[in-house]
Structure 1
């Protein structure tokens, strides 16, 4: 009965906003100091020279992610230039698309990565038009949040890279990254959007919880998914929905957002736990795909205070759908708090920052992002979550 009553409350609940203060916005567009100007010029150079998807349209350009994360972690201009030089070596120049894109047909090419150049050019032209006057946020508002199937509901395509990119665009008020985010959202648009666009997929679940961790623990023990895949990996996501959509949607609908601010806070803690508490002591085998759960969570945190309120809960639920998909695709690794060594030996967040900038992995975009995001998510709660500081 309680589940049924929760369902009847759902329409009103979806209108709830998640009231959070904005993260600090680093307005590098108008900055005059050397460091932010260096970042701005490097982002512009990447936008001009390198495609956003490369290696047979399989890999994403992470250069904006590592540059922005390193900047936030205290990198100087020389380090940013070094990161650009190293990371850009494996990137590829733009290739012309099969055709152009216009205002009339831009949705006709959704999901077609070979049109990445055409999308970037299209959104750039729109931004420079008289109606928009180089205001990239107006372009995002027009193409991301309007229509019967708004593009915002497809941000978890491509393992959440469009979502991550959009978060950095707003956090640094950068129009080049903003237009790239729109283009990524178009190119990596896939079937996952339908679960947000079609209200019939949201329905009462046979169980419920306000705790993402509790639901993940339950999912880890769900015998219906035993032996589903032989090897972990991104390629498992689409077959998962083809074969066991109903199970995924059970867990998706089971997360109760009665107190959205509190539940979102718990979701961010769960994102950190998924990264650090699924790795056995001494292995340091941190998972590339699980890292995206954390980095997309930070992107959601950036965006919530800045986007229309009617998309707040749907964006958080979209992230939750990605979590479930990645967790099962990665063969449901055990989340064990005992994996985390609580003997820190006096190490704190300064140690984390130093490792992100000066370790052997300092040029690995996922490593640097994975170091920065826990600082923001957990760092302000050092007393309660000190165990994660390693």
Structure 2
């Protein structure tokens, strides 16, 4: 049985995207390796805050049917550079249990193991659902602070929490809660400001994300606010130089209890759209490393929406904040033009392995820290969510407003994006482009002819 300190997968714990069925051998091996990671490794592999992705990687491989030997090999490749997680000798746990002292350890990576034990104890006593409602979704000052940190570090805490909930692993949820506490809160400050601004405007004119992406690109102050030299292009570019302009657009994307399902589908579709369409012909097809995280986190929102313990108001808020951050992320790479033809005209590099089974199998054997296979799984999820929403919309006669402008990616485009993911990382050069809206991001990549140019 899975507990706050023990990882235990079964052949039924394979997540929401199905490919090949799993075996008891793979369940046991993946559980063993995740337990080793849980017991021994820090959630950051260095003191600069670079994330340990082992839990994400192994659960994705396991969920998509990878055999035990593949999962173990991928683990070995990424375990050798992880840091040990060491509990401090101070009386930290006692302090953390006192609400007056809780916050003094936040944003300090040396206390990861202390936080992990703290959250394990809380989950053991109260259950993980109650712990999340008490600490993260309470709507009080402490809750809003932790909720803001959930979106920090390019969404890594949210991704980690999503994996824990999706795969029914309280120990992974404890890791996620500890990770939340290690991040700073400037992202949360921006999201709360966007929320406050949106409420003050009290606008009933909700636009779709694709509409807002076009408007952001047309706003020259906002679309050029980030500089190549910025250490963090959202914080030091968008927020520092164009916060008022950014808030103008975030306030125009509105989630309500009534449109939660539709807006979830729109968010998933839209971040995949701008991540795939932000190409720079004639350069090689590459995916932006930062946009990718918007996609990799999008997969968990149907799971969040399905949780009976989470209030509708908090589901709405989770999604609303994700949309705010997606819009800011698009602007932060200098709002590149979105070329839908780069998707529709794409020709897979390996036509005989171009279906989802072939894509996933190739990614089982791809050597990285899991970003690529997470991205492909999230794209496949986008296809499943999009198909389900389109079918529902057709049944109630909402062809245009519900399915049209807010859903740019449709039909065969999903498989083409899946192939763009695997082909681009298997191609020459770095696996990912970084900050695609800047010319500097593309310097190292080769020029290639496009289908439309032949």
If the length of structure 2 is used for normalisation, what is the TM-score? 0.72
**Deviation larger for 225-234 or 177-186:** 225-234
> 1:43 Cα shift?
1.3
- Are the counterparts in 1 of residues 45 and 81 from structure 2 also a CA contact under 8 Å? no
1:71 matches 2:66: no
**3-state secondary structure, aligned to 1:54:** coil
Q: Which runs of 5+ in 2 are unaligned?
A: 1-10, 16-21, 391-409, 417-454
- 1:315 corresponds to which residue? 318
The superposition leaves residues 234-256 of structure 1 with CA deviations (integer Å, 9 ceiling, x where unpaired) of 61222221332211211111113
**3-state secondary structure, aligned to 1:59:** coil
What pairs up with 1:1-12 in 2 under 5 angstroms? Answer: none
CA RMSD of aligned residues (A): 2.8
Q: Which runs of 5+ in 1 are unaligned?
A: 1-23
Change beyond 3 A, Cα 1:226–1:327? closer
1:354 matches 2:367: no
The separation in 2 between residues aligned to 1:191 and 1:98, in whole angstroms, is 30
**3-state secondary structure, aligned to 1:254:** coil
- 1:304 corresponds to which residue? 305
Change beyond 3 A, Cα 1:245–1:113? farther
Picking from 26, 42, 52, the partner of 2:13 is: 26
Higher relative contact order (CA 8 A, sep 6+): 1
> 1:343 Cα shift?
4.4
- 1:112 corresponds to which residue? 108
- Are the counterparts in 1 of residues 158 and 176 from structure 2 also a CA contact under 8 Å? yes
- 2:234 corresponds to which residue? 237
- Are the counterparts in 1 of residues 295 and 378 from structure 2 also a CA contact under 8 Å? yes
Picking from 97, 106, 111, the partner of 1:103 is: 97
1:374 matches 2:386: no
- 1:210 corresponds to which residue? 207
- 1:94 corresponds to which residue? 85
If the length of structure 1 is used for normalisation, what is the TM-score? 0.83
- Are the counterparts in 1 of residues 225 and 332 from structure 2 also a CA contact under 8 Å? no
> 1:370 Cα shift?
0.7
The separation in 2 between residues aligned to 1:212 and 1:193, in whole angstroms, is 21
The separation in 1 between residues aligned to 2:210 and 2:231, in whole angstroms, is 22
> 1:158 Cα shift?
1.0
**Deviation larger for 373-382 or 76-85:** 373-382
The separation in 1 between residues aligned to 2:369 and 2:285, in whole angstroms, is 15
- Are the counterparts in 1 of residues 13 and 63 from structure 2 also a CA contact under 8 Å? no
- 2:413 corresponds to which residue? 387
**Deviation larger for 152-161 or 32-41:** 32-41
The separation in 2 between residues aligned to 1:44 and 1:137, in whole angstroms, is 21
- 1:11 corresponds to which residue? none
**3-state secondary structure, aligned to 1:75:** coil
- 2:164 corresponds to which residue? 169
Change beyond 3 A, Cα 1:289–1:33? same
Change beyond 3 A, Cα 1:25–1:330? farther
> 1:93 Cα shift?
1.0
**Deviation larger for 156-165 or 301-310:** 301-310
What pairs up with 1:36-75 in 2 under 5 angstroms? Answer: 36-75=27-66
- 1:200 corresponds to which residue? 196
- Are the counterparts in 2 of residues 236 and 329 from structure 1 also a CA contact under 8 Å? yes
> 1:64 Cα shift?
0.7
> 1:312 Cα shift?
1.2
**3-state secondary structure, aligned to 2:373:** helix
> 1:325 Cα shift?
2.6
- 2:432 corresponds to which residue? none
- 1:364 corresponds to which residue? 369
The separation in 2 between residues aligned to 1:233 and 1:261, in whole angstroms, is 36
Change beyond 3 A, Cα 1:185–1:388? same
> 1:114 Cα shift?
3.0
The separation in 2 between residues aligned to 1:115 and 1:253, in whole angstroms, is 37
1:146 matches 2:142: no
